[in-house]
Structure 1
Amino acid sequence: MRKKTFCSALAHAGAYLVSIAVLLGLWHLAAVVISSPALPTPGATVAVFREYVPDLAPAFAVSLYRVLASLGIASVLAVPAGLALGRSPRLDAAVSPALHVLYPIPKVVLLPVFLVLLGLGDAAKIALMSVTVFFQVLVSVRDAAACVPRESILAARSLGAGRVVTCLHVVVPAVLPELLTALRVGSGTAVAILFLAESIAGSTGLGYFIVDAWSMVDYPRMFAGMIGMAVLGVGIYEVLALVERLLTPWRRA
């Protein structure tokens, strides 16, 4: 079993290395063909990356905090709501019309509203990302909770389990894979929205770092910030994927 797990991890790492090599090759080819200062080669970007680390690290930390805070807030609010909707057809029927209207709306249009209400600091950016991820998690958890087999519920009840125990030991484990998948997808959306929010309204974070470098025509610095943003998104995604593998081993079996 350990050998199989090691081989799987090795294959996963190998696939990542191949993907990175292909992307770097395409980047280098595009830089050579276009031959513009706006698109430096990967080698030139990496060569100057080290000198930008002192400025990049604080920006990375700020952006990481904002994304993690939004994922945490969205989860705390969406998971109980999704479980309630999924296990209560009447409640779901009452809430679904509003949910169907609100879900498709691109939440990024709310940025000006949050900026007016909450100011230019962290609160507005975290609130916008939280609202976006909230709906993604809510819908996934609701649908997963509604699909829990009735037989599993009845089996737990027949053993004397109450509503709370049944929810914790039957419904929550059944919902967990979809919840973690929704968080992985939501993390990518949150990072994209974060870039927009930081670049439009803010003086900290990776989004501001990138746009500030662009405004000063410092393209290597701009690409260093873009690499930092990519590391942020991929890092959070992979951590959530690892958590999913650890908490739901039956899904990978």
Structure 2
Amino acid sequence: MTLISTKIGRKGGSNNRKRGSFKSSETLIGIAAVLLFILAWQLVTTAVRFPYFPPPSRIIANAVSRWFDGPWYMLWVGPNAATQLLPSIERLLAGWAIAVIVGIAVGFAIGLLPRFARYVEPPMTFVRNLPPTALIPVFLLILGVGDSMKIIFISSTVVWPILLNTIDGVQSVDQTQLSTARSYGIRRSRVLSHIILPSALPKIFAALRISLSLALILMVISEMVAATNGIGFEILKGQRTFRIVDMWSGIIVLSVLGFLLNQIVQLIEHRALRWHRGARNNG
């Protein structure tokens, strides 16, 4: 028995090493592809001068001087980043956090109560099919042009993927596990925390990543429409004043911000769903 277990352990360790090396290779290929794209962009825009497509070297230098010229103990965050970038991050995270709380809570309620789901499904289908940008005038009329309008605009739109994935995750729990728990008389609170929640988490985390990317887009839209600061406002101001390098540096900073936020969520997902990947690999 010990010999068999040892062989299985060695095989599992070998598989993990292979998966790790494959993932490292994928990461290196992705980095190489990005660097190759930047190099091609640099060569083309240097050889043929396009007024609206400056070289990446100018864009990166402009981004560093405009956004990250602060001292090291402030993580190089400069005055412009403090007044333009940080408000955008606050609006983004506040709207997304509200959507996460509401989406998961309401999603669990609907998923656990089928009769309630039948009543709310028609109005939900109607509201979620409304284009988000069409609601901006409504939010402006009711909430004005302050941060509350932008936060509510973000949260009311990005809540849908979280809500729908949570409902789907709750309703797709293995019925055999639920029947076994009921037959053993396990309390409903423990069934919720030990069976339903873990089963729904993979779909919830998938929705969190999608909704975070969507929140970034909506944050930019709201700042371009009704704001006097923020990275979306800075990008639009650069376009309107023909400061093209400033516009592109804002776009680059925005893409880096989206990448970093996505990596943070993926790191949390990786740690929270370690058991899920282990069960899937063993299966």
Same fold per TM (> 0.5)?
Answer: yes
Native 8 Å contact 2:161 2:211 kept in 1: yes
Q: Is the 8 A contact 1:56 1:225 kept in 2?
A: no
CA contact (8 A) 2:63 2:250 kept: no
CA contact (8 A) 1:38 1:219 kept: yes
Which of 121, 138, 146 in structure 1 is aligned with 2:146? 121
Is 1:52 the counterpart of 2:85 in the alignment?
A: no
- Alpha-carbon deviation of 1:129? 0.8
Among candidates 270, 273, 277, match of residue 245 of structure 1: 270
- 2:200 matched residue in structure 1: 175
How many angstroms apart in 2 are the aligned matches of 1:119 and 1:33? 48
Kept in 1, the 8 Å contact 2:102–2:159? The answer is yes
Give the partner amino acid of 1:44.
R
Q: 1:134 aligns with which of 159, 166, 169?
A: 159
Query: What letter matches 1:76 in structure 2?
Result: I
- Residues 141-169 of structure 1: CA deviation (Å, up to 9, x unaligned): 10111110111112223333222221111
Q: Distance in 2 between matches of 1:169 and 1:9?
A: 31
Given the superposition, is the C-alpha separation of residues 102 and 250 from structure 1 closer, same or farther in structure 2, using an over 3 Å criterion? same
**Residue 55 of structure 2 aligns to which amino acid in structure 1?**
T
Pair 1:231-2:256 in alignment: yes
Shift of 1:74: 0.6
CA distance in 1, matches of 2:22, 2:82: 32
Equivalent of residue 172 in structure 2, options 147, 150, 159: 147
Larger Rg: 2
Answering whether residue 216 of structure 2 is matched by residue 186 of structure 1, we say: no
Cross-structure match for 2:106:
81
Unpaired runs of 5+ in structure 2? 1-12, 68-77
Structural mapping, 1:17-32, within 5 Å: 17-28=31-42, 31-32=45-46
Are the structure 2 counterparts of residues 163 and 109 from structure 1 closer, same or farther at C-alpha, using a change threshold of 3 Å?
Answer: same
Partner of 2:232: 207
- TM-superposed deviation, 1:221: 1.2
Contact 1:114 1:128 in 2 (8 A): yes
CA distance in 1, matches of 2:107, 2:222: 27
**Residues 156-198 of structure 1, C-alpha deviation per residue, up to 9 Å, x if partnerless?**
2333322222111111111111111101011111111111110
Q: Is the 8 A contact 1:86 1:141 kept in 2?
A: yes
Normalised TM-score (structure 1):
0.91
After TM superposition, give the deviation of residue 20 of structure 1 in Å: 1.9
| TM-score in terms of structure 2 length | 0.82
Q: With CA pairs under 8 Å and 6+ residues apart, which has the higher RCO, 1 or 2? A: 1
Contact 1:108–1:128 under 8 Å retained in 2:
no
Partners of 1:62 and 1:228 lie apart in 2 by: 14
Supply the distance in 1 between the matched residues of 2:190 and 2:276 (Cα, whole angstroms): 23
Report what 1:218 is aligned to: 243
Which one-letter code corresponds to 1:17 in the other structure? Answer: I
Equivalent residue letter for 2:207: A
- Cα deviation per residue 1:82-107 (whole Å; 9 max; x = unaligned)? 11211222111111111222222222
Q: 1:38 aligns with which of 52, 55, 62?
A: 52
Give distance in 1, aligned partners of 2:211 and 2:89. 14
Alpha-carbon distance, 1:242 to partner: 1.3
Number of residues of Structure 1 aligned to a counterpart in Structure 2: 253
Aligned-residue sequence identity (percent) comes to 26
CA distance in 1, matches of 2:185, 2:25: 45
Cα separation, 1, equivalents of 2:40 and 2:82: 27
In 2: Cα distance, 1:106 partner to 1:202 partner: 21
Contact 1:87 1:145 in 2 (8 A): yes
CA RMSD of superposed structures (Å): 2.2
* Equivalent in the alignment of 2:9: none
Deviation at 1:215, TM superposition (A): 1.8
